Homo-oligomer: A and B are copies of this chain.
Amino acid sequence: MSATRTLPENHNWRLQLWSWPEVECYLKHNKGVILPLGSTEQHGPTGAIGTDSLTADAIAQAVAERTGVLVAPPQPFGMAEHHLGFPGTISLQPSTLLALLQDVVISLVRHGFERIYVINGHGGNMATARAAFSQAHGRSASLGLASAPRLRCKLASWFLAPAVMSHARQLYGEREGQHATPSEIAVTLHLYPHLAEKLRPLPEPAPVGSIHGWEDFRRRYPDGRMGSDPSLATAAAGQQLVDRAVTALSEDLQRFLKAP
């Protein structure tokens, strides 16, 4: 997203930079599309509010380049109700995100896309995205769209890829925590090195626990972190994590495209 972004890049797979006849041509041999899904929410006292969007988008672009699959623009607002107690968080209610994802999927199915691969950067989106897939399946069938019977949607949360989780555990052990984790912060440092200037030693975080309403969340996790020590993050680790995520998701996507 900026001059300092360090991922190699060509624009060949970004839907935003294609024309419609190029998409028409693409659909003759590939029915897959990647949708990056992020969130705009607090990431602790030192993390970037856009962490979940920036990471999902960067990984999605790299997966697109590696696999030759078209990638839609990232949806930057997700379901972040529990973070609304912290300034800067922008949240869609689950019912709104459900309607949005349904409309996006239906638009794509109209054109003949059959494999929607959502690369997700935020745990809070997972339930609603899955609910939206179910609703989109029903609705595309009800609309009688030609591609509806072959529609498949898949949610791929990069931070849950086994290769990513094991590396994060190896790097940070217990200090990985569950929100504003050093691994996601590391990826943002890899993308935007100047973000490292925000980092500083932090007091012991509130321990990992449950998530309920936003008032409760802020009381439980006063600085927004859940058991994490983001001061451990480095751009170098971020690059390793991105590499592992891109490899894992690219393979998963290729299986998804070929699966019956």
Contact = CB atoms under 8 A, between A and B. Distances in A.
Interface of A: 1-5, 9, 11, 14-24, 27, 38, 40, 42-50, 53-54, 72-77, 79, 81-82, 84, 86-96, 98-100, 102-104, 107-108, 110-112, 124, 126-135, 137-138, 140-144, 148-154, 192, 194-195, 198, 210, 212-216, 220, 224, 259-260
B151 A87 contact: no
24 contacts: A2-B5, A4-B11, A15-B50, A19-B49, A23-B87, A23-B88, A38-B73, A53-B73, A72-B76, A73-B76, A74-B76, A81-B138, A90-B104, A92-B100, A92-B103, A94-B134, A95-B95, A99-B99, A133-B212, A137-B212, A137-B214, A142-B143, A148-B213, A148-B215
B87 A24 contact: yes
B142 A17 contact: no
A4 B9 CA distance: 9
B87 A98 contact: no
Given A19-B43, A84-B138, A150-B216, 12 more contacts: A1-B1, A3-B5, A15-B50, A19-B44, A19-B46, A20-B89, A90-B103, A90-B104, A94-B134, A127-B128, A127-B131, A128-B134
A205 to B, nearest CB: 15
A74 B50 CA distance: 11
Nearest to A44: B19
Given A89-B107, A92-B103, A107-B91, A79 B17 contact: no
Contacts of A210: 152, 154, 259
B11 A94 contact: no
